[in-house]
Structure 1
Amino acid sequence: MAVKIYWLHKFDNSAQVGIMARPRGNEWLEEEILSLKKQHVHVVLSLLEKDEIHELGLRRQPELCLKHNIRYLSFPIPDRDVPSRDKRFFDIIAEAEREIAEGRSIVIHCRMGIGRSSIVAGSLLLKAGFGPGDIFAHISKMRGLRVPDTEEQVKWLI
């Protein structure tokens, strides 16, 4: 079964940015990673915290991404929360932008691909020229449901 990726934007160099719910874990995880590879994903950015990674059976995600030539990045954000506006956040966004500039497609996931994923993807869309007021409407349309999870997340980006 193919992992469902909600592609949000395709750049001039054909790189794309997308969001998704977390992959199925444990014995299904490698199949999920292979599905991402078949969909031309080059970079996975996980926003899950350590306890979520263990709970969801995703401990091997970094190893399996590496095995299948997908770069794995991690930037934990508490569920239904927002990232700190600090150097670490700006560094991960800059890293994602470098990957995109090199023509590599990136998929961002949290638990359900609604809240945390939307605000981080929204940060990349801002850099791509989307207006702050249009980002969540665009992501909601592409995702097929209203994003993000909380009003705090909306205010954080806008």
Structure 2
Amino acid sequence: MFTRIYWIETIHTGSIGIMPRPRGNEDLESEILYLAKQDVKMLVCLLMPSEIRELGLQKEKELCEKHQISFLHFPIPDRSLPDSLQQVYQLINQVEQTCLEGKKVVFHCRGGIGRVTLMAGAILRKTGLASEDIIKKISQIRGLQVPDTEEQAEWLRRFK
């Protein structure tokens, strides 16, 4: 069983998805191959370096490149917020450009609840959706309340 992708929105002609972390170690390549077969063209990892080691995802970038998936690492501490708003805007612009090219982008963190909601939600805020609508939409798609913390929800409400 592969890690499920939750498709959130079509942006321009591309798509944004979120997921929990892929299975690591000896299962990692099959997970990345599954993403490639789903036509994912960019994977954004939001894990901290210590989580990457703990979860056996050290070869994620290498395996993504092997299977023609662009890989971005944008670490955010678990149950926390991004350090730099400027870097968030840079990431969003990169993802949006990929979507403009008609490609699929997937974000992952550890559980696919908090950090992914922040980044996917930031992109949706940029398209004009209200933060409460975004939280409701992603919660419905995930089948559970997102994001992880009230601090994360407040960050998304303030994001412009």
TM-superposed CA distance for 1:156, in Å, is: 0.3
Pairing 1:6-25 to 2, within 5 Å after superposition: 6-13=6-13, 15-25=14-24
Q: Are the counterparts in 2 of residues 47 and 110 from structure 1 also a CA contact under 8 Å? A: yes
Structure 2 match to 1:100: 99
Match of 1:3 in 2: 3
* Structure 1 letter corresponding to 2:80: D
Per the alignment, residue 120 of structure 1 pairs with 119
Equivalent position amino acid for 1:65 in 2: C
Aligned positions, number: 157
Post-superposition shift, 1:83?
0.8
CA contact (8 A) 1:3 1:36 kept: no
**Structure 1 residues 69-113: Cα deviation after superposition (integer angstroms, max 9, x where no partner):** 000001000000011343222111111111111111100000010
Runs of 4+ with >3 A deviation: none
- The gaps in structure 2 that reach 5 residues or longer are none
**Identity rate, percent:** 49
Please provide the CA RMSD for this pair: 1.0
> Matched residue of 1:149: which SS?
coil
Gaps of 5+ in 1: none
1:57 corresponding residue in structure 2: 56
Residue 12 (structure 1) shift: 4.3
Aligned to 2:155: 156
Q: Which amino acid in the other structure matches residue 108 of structure 2? A: H
TM-score normalized by structure 2? 0.94
Q: Which amino acid aligns with 1:101?
A: L
Q: Residues of 2 paired with 1:133 and 1:87: CA distance?
A: 23
